[in-house]
Amino acid sequence: MLDIRAIREDAQGVLSRLRRRDPTLDLDDVLRADERRRELIRRVEDLRRERNEGSQAVAALQAEGRRSDAQARIEELRSVSAELKTLEEELTSVESSLHDALLRLPALPSDDVPDGAADEKLVLRTWGSPAEMPFTPLHHVILGKQLDLLDLERAARIAGSRFPLYTGLGARLEMALLQWMLELHVREHGYRAVLPPILANREAFLVSGQLPKFEEDLYKCAEEDLYLNPTSESLLVNLHRGEILEAALLPLRYVAYTPCFRREAGTYGEESRGLIRMHQFNKVELFQYCVPEDSDARLEEIVGQAERVLQLLGLCYRVTLLTVQDLAQQSTKTVDLEVWLPGQGRYYEVSSCSNCGDYQARRGDIRYRDPADGAVRHVHTLNGSGLATSRLFAAILEQNQDEHGVVRLPQVLAERLGVEVLR
């Protein structure tokens, strides 16, 4: 959520930054609601003061035995109370409208985020290069079926299209990936492990930024007013909702495993085939709370930690900086890791690492006490996939296949499974 004081003080500057994301955005409703809110607050405070002073005057008149004067004053106060009630109701309505309008505005992009459409992302660096394969590489769907690792036909029978079913060594490989990544981030990177609920209430998703704008993308349990987790960022950002943290404890680093659920409506073609774009997938998520001046460095840290996973797996990937029009609602800056899939001849995102600034912290009232002056300020929040396994699983199969459809596992996984090749 944006700071209404910052909008009030520099509306044109805030608007120019917002319009980098969406040229159609405006602040007219926000500014009108804010102006009316302040007018109402002033009038309500005046009426409350008048009512209080009048009540004291009535008490004094009654004490003096001046009953007729006291009754006349009471009649005057009735009209004050009636106007006050009307204005208090309007103030509640205006404050609700202002809050809703602020919730729908996206985070302000960082100055170093480039302009441009989603397909104009900036490639920052690559690690490894796509291997020259003297044969036509197979798609992971074919490899998964041949090696008895995936059964997407039975998955569709159970739940419909775009749900996974891992079988045999495929199921063990998926679980090995998740456990290995979680332990890597705990032991090597100093994160605290969390296994959160996979259902959350409406307030949790308002804080994270999925609501109110993206409700149609969420799976909802209507009777309980709970939503299925689309990414554990939505859960981890609520760990300290409404709290004031001590600066000495920051940064706080959490890592969580959760299954994730997304409707992903309207996506068809090659991107919806196999494990590329699923309604359900597994993910290890990195999340940090930090002081504002450290958040740029914390983003680089998270990116490096996600890269470490790919490097230990020996997978070719690249690092890209998203443009303003490709940023998520809550993100001020996002760096993606994209892994090479030779069966499709292209890179796919396997980790999205974002600095959300104080956007989520304002929505969740998450603050820290600055030891320098004792002031209470909003923290910055950051998140990154560390990693999502579905496309990672696909990359392991496709990058490590040979001309016979045999897959040699990365050493870290072979050691866990006691199997070096899948054939």
Q: Is 277 a catalytic residue?
A: yes
Count of CB atoms within 10 A of residue 406's CB? 14
Kindly indicate the confidence band of residue 272, based on its pLDDT and cuts at 50, 70 and 90: low
Which residues on adjacent β-strands are paired with residue 228? 199
125 catalytically annotated: no
CB 117 within 8 A of CB 341: no
Please tell me the predicted confidence (pLDDT) of residue 270. Answer: 59
Encode 167-217 in three state secondary structure. CCHHHHHHHHHHHHHHHHHHHCCCCEEECCCCEEEHHHHHHHCCCCCCHHH
Q: Which is more confident, 66 or 145?
A: 145
Residue 265 has pLDDT above 70, yes or no: no
Residue 60 has pLDDT above 80, yes or no: yes
Catalytic residue among 20, 253, 318, 391: 391
pLDDT at 273 over 90: no
Torsions phi, psi of 39, nearest 5?
-60, -45
Note the pLDDT of residue 367: 98
The answer to whether residue 316 scores a pLDDT higher than 70 is yes
Q: Which of 73, 277, 362, 363 is catalytic?
A: 277
For the sheet containing 226-228, what is the strand order? 199-201, 226-228, 220-221
| Confidence grade of residue 359 (pLDDT, cut at 50, 70, 90) | very high
Catalytic residue among 262, 362, 363, 367: 262
Measured distance CA(341)–CA(243) in Å, rounded: 43
* Marked catalytic residue, from 352, 354, 385, 390: 352
Q: What is the DSSP letter of 305?
A: H
* 201 pLDDT more than 70: yes
CA distances (Å), 67 to each of 50, 71, 81, in order?
Answer: 20, 6, 20
Per-residue confidence (pLDDT) for residue 73, from 0 to 100: 87
Rounded CA-CA distance 294/119 in Å is 30
pLDDT above 70 (res 299): yes
∠11-12-17 over CA atoms, to 5°? 100
Least confident stretch, 64-78, 87-101, 354-368: 64-78
Output DSSP code: residue 109: P
CA separation for the pair 96, 295 (Å, rounded):
31
Q: Are 343 and 332 in contact (CB under 8 A)?
A: no
* Residue among 355, 381, 356, 353 at smallest CA distance from 367: 381
Residue 138, both tokens: 């197979």
Q: What is the rounded distance in angstroms from the CA atom of residue 367 to the CA atom of residue 405?
A: 53
Q: Is 352 a catalytic residue?
A: yes
State the burial class of residue 3 (Cβ atoms within 10 Å of its Cβ: 0-12, 13-18, 19+): middle
pLDDT value of residue 271: 64
Write down the pLDDT at residue 76: 87
Active site residue 39: no
Alpha helix stretches (DSSP H) within 105-168: 140-146, 152-159
Average pLDDT over residues 20-38: 96
pLDDT score, position 269 = 59
pLDDT at 268 over 60: no
In whole numbers, what is the pLDDT of the chain averaged over residues? 95
Cβ atoms of residues 380 and 356 within 8 Å: yes
pLDDT-derived band of residue 61, with 50, 70 and 90 as boundaries?
confident
Q: 228-261 pLDDT, tens per residue?
A: 999 999 999 999 999 999 999 999 999 999 999 9
Q: Return the DSSP state at 401.
A: B
Question: Annotated catalytic residue: which of 349, 369, 408, 416?
Answer: 349
pLDDT band at 227 (very low <50, low <70, confident <90, very high): very high
For the segment 392-418, the average pLDDT, to the nearest whole number, is: 98
If we measure between CA atoms, which residue out of 289, 146, 208 comes closest to residue 217?
208
Q: What is the mean pLDDT of residues 88-110?
A: 97
* pLDDT greater than 70 at residue 397: yes
Cβ(21)–Cβ(327) under 8 Å? Answer: yes
Q: How confident is the model at residue 67 (pLDDT cuts 50, 70, 90)?
A: confident
C-alpha separations of 12 from 26, 27, 221, 248, 316 in Å: 10, 9, 41, 37, 44
Q: 258 Cβ partners below 8 Å, 6+ apart?
A: 195, 196, 198, 229, 232, 235, 282, 283, 285
The pair of structure tokens assigned to 266 is: 């309207």
Say if residue 385's pLDDT is above 70: yes
Residues 6+ apart with CB under 8 A from 302: 286, 288, 353, 382, 383, 384, 386
Q: What is the C-alpha R_g of the chain?
A: 27
Six-digit token string for 340: 């090479």
Question: For the chain, what is the total number of helices (H) and then of strands (E)?
Answer: 13, 16
Has 104 been annotated as catalytic?
no
How far, in Å, CA of 157 to CA of 178, rounded? 26
Return the pLDDT at 72. Answer: 86
Q: What is the pLDDT of residue 266?
A: 53
Tell me how far CA of residue 324 lies from CA of 43, 109, 126, 158, 299, in angstroms. Answer: 41, 7, 22, 39, 17
Nearest-angstrom CA–CA distance, 269 and 397: 21
Q: How far apart are CA 327 and CA 334, in angstroms?
A: 7
